[in-house]
Structure 1
Amino acid sequence: MKISLTSLFVDDQRAALAFYTEVLGFKKRHDIPLGENFWLTVESPEVVDGPELLLEPAGHPAVKPYRDALMEDGIPLAQFSVNDIEAEYARLTSRGVVFTQPPTDIGTAFVAVLNDTCGNLIQLIEMKPNWNDADAS
């Protein structure tokens, strides 16, 4: 079993597509009209046939209070791995991305949190070189 698709609620699918492709650097995989919305997915250009991220419309009534609570508490809704968090932080801030947490050493990794402009906080993580799951036990 493997993860092939996960979704992220977004306020505006077209704005989200622009942010996730033009700013973060993901590739558009699917853009299929479904009534007023779209089956709109992006994927990492670094992973061939890797998992897709569905940019899902946030129209369901349960979504707003859920995301508002996460945003208010500073809790990221998703996490993306990076190889060099300082380089990503510099690249993304130069593109106008707002970070709610700059790169921070948390022991086993470095993390940073950004606002995706679509209603979500996203955490970036760079694992430290000699850390693995066996070290956690």
Structure 2
Amino acid sequence: MKIALTSLFVDDQRAALAFYTDVLGFIKGHDIPLGDDFWLTVRSPESPDSPELLLEPSSHPAVKPYRDALVEDGIPLAQFAVEDLGSEYARLTEKGVVFTQPPTDIGMAIMAVFDDTCGNLIQLVEMKQS
């Protein structure tokens, strides 16, 4: 068994696609119309066989209170691994990404948290070499 797809609820699928591709650098996978919404995925260009991230509509009534509570408590909904957090932090800050937590050394890793502009907090993690 392996993870092939995971979901991330977004307020606006097209705006999310632009942010996740143009700003973060992911590549578009699927873009299939489903009524008023889309089966819209992105994946890492560094690992083409990696699991896809489904940019899922946040219209279900349970989504808003769930995400609002996570954001209010500063809890990221997803985590992405990076090789050099300092460089990613600088690159994303230059592109206007708002970080709610700057790079922070947590012992075995360095982490930072940003607002994805789509209703979620996302954590970046650089694992330290042991």
Shorter-chain TM band: over 0.9
Q: Distance in 2 between matches of 1:15 and 1:77?
A: 18
Q: In 2, Cα distance between the equivalents of 1:49 and 1:37?
A: 25
Report which stretch shifted further, 20-29 or 45-54: 45-54
Structure 1 CA distance, aligned partners of 2:48 and 2:54? 17
3-state SS, counterpart of residue 17 of structure 2: helix
Deviation at 1:48? 2.2
Residue deviations 1:8-48 (CA, integer Å, cap 9, x gap): 00000000000000000000000000000000000000112
1:134 maps to none
- 1:76 counterpart residue number: 76
1:30 pairs with 2:30 = yes
RMSD (CA atoms): 0.4
- Aligned partner of 1:39 in structure 2 is 39
> Where do 1:1-137 residues align within 5 Å?
1-130=1-130
- What are the ranges of 5 or more consecutive residues in structure 1 without an aligned counterpart? 131-137
User: So what's the TM-score if we normalise by structure 2?
Assistant: 0.99
Residue 3 of structure 1 aligns to which amino acid in structure 2? I
Equivalents in 2 of 1:2, 1:17: separation in Å? Answer: 25
Q: 1:48, 1:123 → 2: CA distance?
A: 21
3-state SS in 1 of match to 2:107: coil
Any runs of at least 4 consecutive aligned residues in structure 1 with deviations exceeding 2 A, and if so which?
none
**Secondary structure at the residue paired with 1:96?**
coil
Taking the aligned partners of 1:6 and 1:41, their CA distance within structure 2 comes to 9
* Identity, % of aligned positions: 78
Q: Which runs of 5+ in 2 are unaligned?
A: none
Look up the equivalent residue of 1:2 and give its one-letter code: K
Deviation at 1:49, TM superposition (A): 1.6
Partners in 2 of 1:85 and 1:109 — Cα distance? 10
SS of residue matched to 2:9:
strand
Please tell me whether Structure 1 or Structure 2 has the larger radius of gyration of its CA atoms: 1
Residue 86 of structure 2 aligns with an amino acid whose one-letter code is E
Number of residues paired by the alignment? Answer: 130
Give the Å deviation of 1:50.
1.1
